[in-house]
A and B are shown apart, each in its own frame.
Chain A
Amino acid sequence: MNIFDKTGKAFFNFVRYILVLFTLFYLSLKVLWTNRKLGHREFLRQVLMQIYFTGIQAILPILVLALLVGTFAIISAMGGAAFSGAEQVGRVVTVVLIRELAPLLTGSIIIARSITAITTELGTMRVQREIEALEAMGISPIHHLITPRLVGGVLSFAALTVFFGFVALISGFLIAQTMVPIPIELFVHFVFSAVQPTDIPALGIKVLGGGAGMFIIACYHGLSVRRASTEVPVAVSTAALNAFVFLIALHVGVSASMFLRSNSFELLGVVL
């Protein structure tokens, strides 16, 4: 097999992988309609359990990380050569912490905790033929296993990102007070004035799109386990890695498109 064959095969495998993920995402939404006559209590229970595992149990690590990152960001902003007063602090806090770091670091914590856990759980269920048992009971595995994890996971991701941003802001403000006393009203004013109209949808795409993508990747790799329990750790590491690459790629894509919308620059003689 020559290099072109290998490249072509890898490309088509990648396209197939993306299509399968989109199909799984579509099916996980479609079952909400096709299985609407099934009891909702069990579905709600699964969603709440996912919120508990992904959201509630991750509060402490997110709190610690947000405190550290908030402190670090403010110290960096104040110590930087470009520092030019409290306005700069507000801008740094908004741009770096809320728009970029909050979804990225929260997503990383979720990958380490929930994406690996979901892949392991589904992979083990697959090996033990529990998924077949669900099908035998007339229960769609997508409706019972994937959709609740997707809904609960995305809701938890959104809530944790807001929580991260809030804690980082508070810690940033408190640290800033020790260096340059700023009235809280002024700090809040600088933070909100630094928010661009495009920041909210950009954050929304990062959180909702990123969350949906990560949880679908986890479910896909969990369900792709076929025969042996030795496949489970391979699926877990692949899911974690792919979810992380996806999260970074989404952030780069969204940030780049925002940059292109607000700035024009010349690339290879073409004004973009």
Chain B
Amino acid sequence: MRPALVQVLDALQFCVSDTHWHVPPFHLRPGEWATLVSGDSPDLIDPSGPLIRTLFTLRSPEHGTVFLHNQDAYALPYVGQQRLRAEMGFVPSSGGLLSNRTLRDNIALPLSLHARLTFKEEALRVDEQLDRFGLRAADHMFPHEVNGYTRWRACLARALILSPSIVMLEGLGDWDIERGQGLGWQRLREYRQRQDNAILIALPSAHPEFEQWFQQQGGHIIRYRIAAELPLQGATHR
């Protein structure tokens, strides 16, 4: 049995602004992909944001334990968490591209910090990634100069450039989901199959068509609940 890349040992429960998130225990192994979908129909804007941030060590949970790469992610010191994040790829819903850098420089940033490459090697890797995501024509442009889909692809290209073992995508909008067959999705699927990596997608609300399509692609659906009050059953107090 391959080790789980992501494992929520206890039911993960946390609270943000008087709203409780309840995620059942789950794991994600190499080569798998899963979608976290809200089981309720919450009257909340972007409930997947706090959830994926908690799983990505950006927001500490009040209850529950998140294991990433067989380590209790929140027990690590800041520098350890930093190293862990560098081994994962995160695509925030806002894109998160740095507005004062061109798309090329945005994609090159993780490489220049985390990989010891020469200028030439780095440029080669970035060129490959730009070609793979169809971004070569826009490589000199700034994020605000391109459309949302190009920004999303650039963000995905940046998240995948260090070949992370886990990729987490936050709160995709309907617009992104409809493009499930687009270039970005195609590359994401190839990436998972080629390198045995795990991919986790968090959705803000139920999306039957996407879920059906996702299950056809071999993905798991994990449902979480959101409520004003939730009993903390089975949770380990931290």
Contact = CB atoms under 8 A, between A and B. Distances in A.
B212 interface: no
Q: Which of B84, B99, B113, B115 has the most CB of A within 10 A?
A: B113
A140 interface: yes
A50 to B, nearest CB: 13
Contacts of A129: 92, 94, 96
A71 to B, nearest CB: 39
B36 to A, nearest CB: 17
Interface in B94-128: 94, 96-100, 109-110, 112-116
A21 to B, nearest CB: 20
Interface string B28-66: 000000000000000000000000000010100000000
B79 A136 contact: no
A39 interface: yes
A35 to B, nearest CB: 8
Contact of B85 (A39, A128, A137): A137
Given A38-B114, A39-B116, A132-B96, A138 B86 contact: yes
A74 B79 CA distance: 55
Given A34-B79, A39-B113, A138-B114, A133 B85 contact: no
B132 interface: no
Contact of A136 (B78, B83, B96, B113): B96
A201 to B, nearest CB: 36
B90 interface: yes
Contacts of A144: 113
B97 A133 contact: yes
A225 B87 CA distance: 29
Contact of A121 (B85, B92, B100, B114): B100
B82 interface: yes
B98 A139 contact: no
A138 B58 contact: no
Contact of A138 (B84, B94, B96, B112): B84
A41 interface: yes
Contacts of B92: 129, 132-133, 136
Nearest to A128: B99
Interface in A37-54: 38-39, 41-42
A39 B118 CA distance: 11
B112 A130 contact: no
B98 A138 contact: no
A134 B90 CA distance: 10
Contact of B96 (A38, A39, A41, A133): A133
A137 B56 contact: no
B113 A42 contact: yes
B79 A137 contact: no
Interface of B: 56, 58, 78-79, 82-87, 90, 92, 94, 96-100, 109-110, 112-116, 158
27 contacts: A38-B114, A39-B112, A39-B113, A39-B114, A39-B116, A41-B112, A42-B109, A42-B112, A125-B99, A130-B98, A132-B58, A132-B92, A133-B94, A133-B96, A135-B58, A136-B58, A136-B85, A137-B85, A137-B90, A138-B82, A138-B84, A138-B86, A138-B110, A139-B86, A139-B113, A140-B78, A144-B113
